[in-house]
Amino acid sequence: MANIFSNIPSDIPNEIVEDLVNTQKLRIERIVSKGQSSPDTGWYDQEENEWVIVLSGFGEIEYSNGDKIMLNQGDYLHIKAHEKHRVIATSINEATVWLAIFY
Amino acid sequence: MANIFSNIPSDIPNEIVEDLVNTQKLRIERIVSKGQSSPDTGWYDQEENEWVIVLSGFGEIEYSNGDKIMLNQGDYLHIKAHEKHRVIATSINEATVWLAIFY
């Protein structure tokens, strides 16, 4: 057993990405952000589908068509493969913990 | 977008299980409990691996060897296929929201 809110440093100069599960079928990641946007340039254009939930903090996602979605605690979203998107803002006051399932 | 803590009734006479994603590769379920244990009799003996996290409330899991694990908010656990287990207690004062990924 482990806790999703454990081992979060107070200083987070770069996004922290950890695999919690990684098999041929799926990957479960914990992503911890604090003020970062990502990727640094351009868009995520993923081979896999992604189901993502914000467990603390908040993050704002933009799609390549200009749509923006603010995700607060408990909000979840399904991002299909090759649906171009990026994270344009995350909380600077607290860590944003994302749980992302890629499949 | 939806929120994992939305649409939780105050009365929960039976556990509520909803598929958030259901594909050939994986199934993501939201399970809401309030005082229930499960299954009603015997053990879960699943064909699939399960990764499960408690997002509110708490739940206590027992394995068939007698080991017990209390899961509080944010605690997550990996249960392998055919690892017999059951939920022996959940909070009676608040809803316990589980996010479970079967693959």
Is the pLDDT at A40 greater than 90? The verdict is no
pLDDT 10s digits, A2-18: 999 999 999 999 999 99
Q: B4, B8, B60: best mutation site toward chain A, by most A Cβ within 10 Å?
A: B4
Spell out the per-residue pLDDT of chain B, length 103, in tens. 999 999 999 999 999 999 999 999 999 999 999 999 999 899 999 999 999 999 999 999 999 999 999 999 999 999 999 999 999 999 999 999 999 999 9
Q: For residue A34, which of A74, A73, A91 has the smallest C-alpha distance?
A: A91
User: A53, B99: Cβ pair inside 8 Å?
Assistant: yes
CA distances from B15 to A40, A43, B27, B58, B87 (A): 43, 40, 18, 14, 12
The alpha-carbon gap from A48 to the nearest alpha carbon of chain B, in Å, equals: 12
Is the pLDDT at A19 greater than 90? The verdict is yes
For residue B72, the chain A residues in CB contact (below 8 A) are 3
Chain A residues whose C-beta is within 8 A of a chain B C-beta are 1-6, 20-21, 23, 25-26, 28, 51, 53, 55, 69, 71-72, 74-78, 99, 101, 103
Give chain B's length.
103
- pTM, two decimals, is 0.96
ipTM summary value: 0.95
pLDDT at B39: 94
Stretch A40-55: mean pLDDT: 96
Q: Which helix (H) or strand (E) holds A27?
A: strand A27-33
For residue B51, the chain A residues in CB contact (below 8 A) are 20-21, 28
